[in-house]
Amino acid sequence: MFSRNWRVLSRAYSQAVTFRTSEISPQHQNDKQIGLFYTLKQDTCKELFSNGGLPKSFMKQTKTFTETTLMIRQPALDLINCIKSTDFNKPVIRYVLYGEKGCGKSLTMAHMIHYAYEDGYLIVHVPWVSEWLRRVPRHKEMSNSQTREGLVDLPLDAAAWLIHFKSQNQTLLKSSDLKISKEYVWSKREKTESGAPLSELVEHGIARIKYACDVIDALISEIKILSNNKQCKTFVAIDGFNSFFYPLTRLNTPTKKKVKPDEVTLTKSFLELTKNDWNNGIILLSADQLAVPDENQDSYFPRYLLRKQGFEYLDPFVPIEVGRYSDKEFLSCASYYRDRLWLRGPPEIETELKFTSACNPFKFMEQCAPL
């Protein structure tokens, strides 16, 4: 009888803890831990994702669950293995994440950023491109670009991004081994000299919003040079890359003319960055249906979302599909929600939810909400 109690207890214990793993460093995670959740440390979280990076609904969940956890899934592990076996002397490889709405592309990207952070990469992360091009509350601060004719600037967004960049790369920038190679003249009285640390460039951009877009341009060219010189390895992550290639944005010039993404300086900068003419880096992009308006959301494949122009630009790239939950992942997620008091009720609910949510992670989360 004692042994039976012991068995029951141990089973309960193992059931209680099967959805978690204590391996919090992405570098050491392996296939055995697929479907398990690992917790991110609070300060890492703040550094990496305080200005974006995690989807809004996920941020709400972190507040409710009082912790930030990510699930270890197959696409992320595949990416980590690919990265571990890349040859950094060759030009950069571009990976494109694709999948249905709500399957976990942004969270996979977050997982990779955490890995890059642990591994000491210089992170260039654009949380959500459509934020710049399509989220127009009432009036977006735009100005005509000074350095490039006929193009439009988005100074506030650029400055916000520079803050994000700074917070993500705090440790690397503080070690200040990275120095600029050229001199940049902003105006009569302001210029940044060659040999100054990268952080100075960034500070300048944050302080002087007027020149923020140009600072980003400069920063990107500097990063390329630094990577080529093997002074740092770069990890570029851009979420919603396909909105750069959609014919229209929601921006309007003061003359009420629609602006194309090609006419925005930020587009040019990041397209410059994602060209594979430099090495010692990884580029991770995602093609998302949510980045384009509803009429053009017929399919989730990159060929459709990136359109002809984008596909030719990005060719060759490695596509990685992020799919729905497998059975094991689903069960693990359900037990995690139960543990966090998000899902309550009899066990039959799980079969029903599996059916109605079709194992889509986002839908599953939504449908657990009122239960």
∠ CA 158-266-306, nearest 5°, is: 130
Q: What six digits make up the tokens of 339?
A: 């543990």
What does each C-alpha distance from 114 to 10, 65, 128, 180, 280 come to in angstroms? 33, 20, 17, 26, 18
Nearest distance from C-beta of residue 366 to another protein, angstroms = 8
Residues 85-144 that bind another protein (CB under 8 A): 100
Residues 66-95 that bind another protein (CB under 8 A): 66
60 versus 250: smaller Cβ distance to another protein: 60
Of 341, 361, 362, 364, the one binding another protein by CB under 8 A? 341
Applying CB under 8 A, which part among 28-36, 58-66, 202-210, 234-242 lies near another protein?
58-66
Q: Does 360 bind another protein (CB under 8 A)?
A: yes
Applying CB under 8 A, which part among 3-11, 181-189, 310-318, 351-359 lies near another protein?
351-359
CA 29 and chain centroid, separation? 20
Q: Does 369 bind another protein (CB under 8 A)?
A: yes
Q: Does 294 bind another protein (CB under 8 A)?
A: no
243 versus 360: smaller Cβ distance to another protein: 360
8 versus 358: smaller Cβ distance to another protein: 358
Q: Does 352 bind another protein (CB under 8 A)?
A: yes
Applying CB under 8 A, which part among 73-81, 163-171, 177-185, 340-348 lies near another protein?
340-348
Number of residues that bind another protein (CB under 8 A): 23
Of 358, 361, 362, 364, the one binding another protein by CB under 8 A? 358
252 versus 326: smaller Cβ distance to another protein: 326
Q: Does 301 bind another protein (CB under 8 A)?
A: no
5 versus 351: smaller Cβ distance to another protein: 351
Applying CB under 8 A, which part among 4-12, 63-71, 178-186, 210-218 lies near another protein?
63-71
What does each C-alpha distance from 138 to 86, 168, 252 come to in angstroms? 45, 29, 11
Q: Does 349 bind another protein (CB under 8 A)?
A: yes
Nearest distance from C-beta of residue 329 to another protein, angstroms = 17
Q: Does 59 bind another protein (CB under 8 A)?
A: no
3-state secondary structure the chain: CHHHHHHHHHHHHHHHHCCECCCCCHHHCCHHHCCCEEEECHHHHHHHHCCCCCCHHHHHHHHHHCCEEEECCHHHHHHHHHHHCCCCCCECEEEEEECCCCCCHHHHHHHHHHHHHHHCCEEEEECCCHHHHCCCCCCCCCEECCCCCCCEECHHHHHHHHHHHHHHCHHHHHHCCCECCCCEECCCCCEECCCCEHHHHHHHHHHCHHHHHHHHHHHHHHHHHHHHCCCCCEEEEECCHHHHCCCCCCCECCCCCECCHHHEHHHHHHHHHCCCCCECEEEEEEECHHHCCHHHCCCCCHHHHCHHHHHHHHCCCEEEECCCCCHHHHHHHHHHHHHCCCCCCCCHHHHHHHHHHCCCHHHHHHHHCCC
Q: Does 335 bind another protein (CB under 8 A)?
A: no
Applying CB under 8 A, which part among 61-69, 70-78, 205-213, 249-257 lies near another protein?
61-69
Q: Does 163 bind another protein (CB under 8 A)?
A: no
Applying CB under 8 A, which part among 173-181, 219-227, 233-241, 337-345 lies near another protein?
337-345
**Which residues make up the interface to another protein (CB under 8 A)?**
60, 63-64, 66, 100, 340-342, 344-346, 348-349, 351-352, 355-356, 358, 360, 367, 369-371
